[in-house]
Amino acid sequence: MDWFTALAPWQQALVGCAFTYGMTALGAALVFFFKEIKKDVLNLMLGFASGVMIAASFWSLLDPAIAWAETNGDIPWLVVSIGFGVGGLFLYIADKTIPHMHFGPDHAQEGVPSHLKRTILLVFSITLHNIPEGLAVGVAFGAATEATDPRAAAIAAISVALGIGIQNFPEGAAVSIPLRQEGLSRGKAFLYGQASGIVEPIAGVLGALLVTKVTFLLPYALAFAAGAMIYVVVEELIPEAQQTSSSKRHFAVFGTMLGFMIMMILDVALG
């Protein structure tokens, strides 16, 4: 542990996001063993990812953001509200400008009109999810260096990376297996699936560098990451997980509750 805490914040974020990316690649590798994924299982996965992101948004991001705002002598509710709102607005703009395709049965396209292949549009969709996840990990490690107890804060940041990594495993499978169903070979489906997670280390390093260079932005950045993640959950993950008969929507519900509980346990136990 000492070697890790001795690293610079951006290096810690890089290690943490390398783990989350590795979990995405590991999940994408399931395409070598399964050709298709049942809708109920996919809904469970999407619900699980939603639960992890919701729990992380509060315990790992918003709660520390409020504490930092109080320490800085700012108005906590105002700082957190601004950061949270801007985070959601950022994802909204990205959602409307970056061409991508949803994983729902109708494969609805969003963003500017594009002639890109369906497979690329599908990868872009999950890549949008990974931007706020990478930022969350990076900002958490950046915040650790400014904490009164850097070691404890680093352990809390590790819990964020661990939680995001856990939910990236089913997310990787949710990318590669549908791509296999689109007609891609197993190798190409895996390649595209793991590629969707590459943005996380980039976003993580940028987030860590930003909050360590401009420390007054720390509470705003924490709330920003939370707002971006909640936007993804409400706008895409939960609606897609609910695209099934009413008698089977409990798969998404129980997945969400399970993901929330696991992330809550990680934050409370390690944080």
User: How does pLDDT run across 55-99, given as a tens digit for each residue?
Assistant: 999 988 999 999 999 988 899 999 999 999 999 999 899 888 877
Rg (CA), the chain: 18
Confidence at residue 24, expressed as pLDDT on a 0 to 100 scale? 93
d(CA 89, CA 127): 17
CB contact at 8 A, 125 and 5: no
Mean pLDDT score of the chain: 85
d(CA 223, CA 69): 11
pLDDT at 44 over 80: yes
Reported pTM: 0.86
Percent of the chain with pLDDT over 90: 38
